[in-house]
Structure 1
Amino acid sequence: MSDRWGIVATIKAPPREVLDFVAYHLDQGAAQIHVFLDNQNPRAEAALAGHPQVSVTRTDGAYWRAGGGKKPAKHQLRQTANATRCYAGVRDLDWLLHIDVDEFVCPSSRPLGELLAALPEDQLCARLMPAEALCSDEVAGLDPTLTYCKAWMPRSPQTTALEQALYPQFGSYLRGGFVSHFIGKILVRTGLPDLEFRIHRAFRDGQEIAAQDKLGAVDLCHVHVPGWQGWQKLMAYRLEKGSYRAELQPARPAASGGMSLHEVFSHLHAEGGAAALRAFFDEVCLARPELLARLEAEGLLRRFRLDLGAKRRKHFPGWRRQC
């Protein structure tokens, strides 16, 4: 027995990345994928529009005016508005998952639909915990077909010591060594009235729907750092508007020596420029052999074969990337 699940995502990315994301999740068994394009992307829009399991919406000015308002300035608000609107209109699904274009559902054994069907009928929400991808940037000896990830680290009395052992210089500023979110994303059972999505949560009548179960047999592979060069290109945007912005709280209270990622990266850049940021990248984001070995010893190493190109060619055989 299997439940029908679908995805909603607001995406601003090159066409190939959009199709990779969609094709991968179609291959994982997603019954529907709802893509809200956050910019003009005619090539991706044309390719997606021809697929029977995909709906694509261009979120231009007319789209927002039709919804009764102006385009929200922050992309996080656009994401949650689109997800909430999609949820209200979805049909023929048991669950809806709200994720980003750089996140990939990775069940370890049984398909996601089977795992969801096994949950109690009164369970309204389930959480997928992240596994943050490490970069292979010219590291010798790695399998190029695999994505190596650090898994989510449950809190325990030993967690702080383990974080420090894995990441001696920067572990005290991070939760589980994660540069991005460590609380995961949620699947919500469909058919609930007045539901409102947030990035990591969902609410009804002002009350959060608690995710009663972490689906331990599923990781959410998060390719947050796309290599040293790609990370550098994203840094300024993330510091101003994204996941490193100033208003986000540190992993540990400031009174205990905690610093937000905004503070960490701003300080490193001011004190040592690119060389200091590279030291952070090498310790935390790079698939160093010694880090992989320690993660594996602690049961925290994941290896995923995403095979995005093959899946894209399978589901969108007529599409070719223009050079």
Structure 2
Amino acid sequence: MTNGPQIPVPQPVQTDPAKLRWGIVSTVKAPLRKIAEFIAFHLDLGAQRIRIHLDVPDPSIAERLAHPRLRFTQCDDAYWEGKPSRARTTHQRRQMFNAARTYRMSQLDWLIHIDVDEFILSPRPLADLLAKVELDASHIELQPVEMIEGSSDPHHFKRPASKTIRRTIYPVFGEHVPGGFIGTRSPKIAARAGLPNVRLGIHALHHAGQPVPGAALLPGVELGHAHAPDFETFERHLAYRLSKGSYHDRNGETNLRGHLLRALMDDPEPDALRAFHTELCVPTKERIALLKEYDLLRVEALNLDAKVERFFGSLED
């Protein structure tokens, strides 16, 4: 087991799936439609409470998506009044502050911290699986799978590949991109509520400033990440991700993907950046066959339009 603080889990814990309550906290900056898809998908999965922090305040979103199991927080100046100024400085710090604050207030059995472009892929109702987690497990890691380009069901998701396999599936860029993912390979966290003196972060549960080891896994559950579902989305978010986001050098460590992307942006070949996205994200028949051969492919029908219609009606009204 990894060295680190051991957190005793207060007993008893809920093991009856009919009574178990789980929820989601997320700090969001996205269009109405994307927020509605994220919420509707997880309400359909059984989330008892979803807390959305609107990083760009917009009361009309909260009004249009009102639902009994949904709570919105407008992260305006009034919200940040009296809170640590440092917590507001970057998107990552705002995420961590909002997640930690929600965790302290939570009356649920489990709280999950994920982003608006992530979807919990589960073969069964999530409460059924959470009810079977080891009684002394403080938290769960949700391992990411990355969405391959596609605007309709079924959606294809790829799992991370070893360097040897990457050379076969992605012969030009795979060797230079860890896992073959253009987004993060780090897990997201589901934490039992009520643990003393812990902080729910982005990729870890923390105690006394240290990650808590011993995370459990849920059989068959992965976190589908729509990091760049099409080239236009990838290109639109690139500047932010290079300067402040997932491609940014951090804590003195070189971000390999970021440096590669900067080189491609400076390449005299005008389609260099698109070639990168095409190789890593476009589901050609050959690439899908290779992913399937190496057991690196997950296929899921998300049914987002139907789920949005079920919970919120037509957003075009």
TM-score, L = length of structure 2: 0.89
Distance in 1 between residues matched to 2:85 and 2:103, nearest whole Å? 19
Which position in structure 2 is the counterpart of 1:195?
Answer: 198
Q: Distance in 2 between matches of 1:68 and 1:206?
A: 17
Q: What is the CA–CA distance in structure 1 between the aligned matches of 2:257 and 2:53, rounded to whole Å?
A: 29
The question of whether the paired residues in 2 share the 8 Å contact of 1:15 and 1:44 is answered with yes
Which amino acid counterpart does residue 113 of structure 1 have in structure 2?
A
Q: Take 1:211 and 1:41, find their aligned partners in 2: how far apart are those partners?
A: 39
- Equivalent residue pairs, number: 300
Contact 2:144 2:222 in 1 (8 A): yes
Q: Shift in Å at residue 68 of structure 1?
A: 4.8
Shift, 1:274, TM fit: 4.0
Q: Is the 8 A contact 2:25 2:113 kept in 1?
A: yes
* Post-superposition offset of 1:229: 1.4
Aligned match of 2:13: none
Residue 320 of structure 1 and its aligned partner are, at CA, apart by: 2.3
Name which of 129, 133, 137 aligns with 2:143: 129
Who is 2:236 aligned against? 233
In the alignment, what sits opposite 1:156?
none
TM-score using structure 1 length = 0.88
Match for residue 51 of structure 1 among 46, 51, 67: 67
Answer whether contact 1:5 1:95 (CA < 8 A) is retained. yes
Summarize the alignment of residues 264-279 of structure 1 with structure 2, pairs less than 5 Å apart. Answer: 264-272=260-268, 274-279=270-275
The sequence identity of aligned pairs, in percent, is 36
Change (3 A) 1:296 1:207: same
CA distance in 2 between partners of 1:211 and 1:55 (Å): 31
Consecutive unaligned residues of structure 1, counting only runs of 5 or more, are 138-143, 154-158
2:34 corresponds in structure 1 to: 17
Residue identity matched to 2:106: V
Are 2:120 and 1:105 aligned? yes
Query: 1:13 deviation in Å?
Result: 0.5
**Shift of residue 166 of structure 1?**
1.2
Whether 1:321 and 2:292 are equivalent positions in the alignment is no
Does residue 305 of structure 1 match 2:294?
A: no
Q: Which amino acid aligns with 1:149?
A: F
Does residue 96 in structure 1 map to residue 111 in structure 2? yes
| Aligned-partner residue type, residue 153 of structure 2 | T
* 1:259-313, Cα deviation, whole Å (9 max, x unpaired): 6111000011112354110111111111111110000011111111111111111
Which residue of 210, 222, 226 maps to 1:223?
226
In the TM superposition, residue 57 of structure 1 has moved relative to its aligned partner by 0.3
Q: Secondary structure at the match of 2:96?
A: helix
| Structure 1 residue 160: Cα displacement | 1.9
Partners in 2 of 1:276 and 1:236 — Cα distance? 16
CA RMSD after TM alignment: 1.9
1:149 to 157, 161, 165: 157
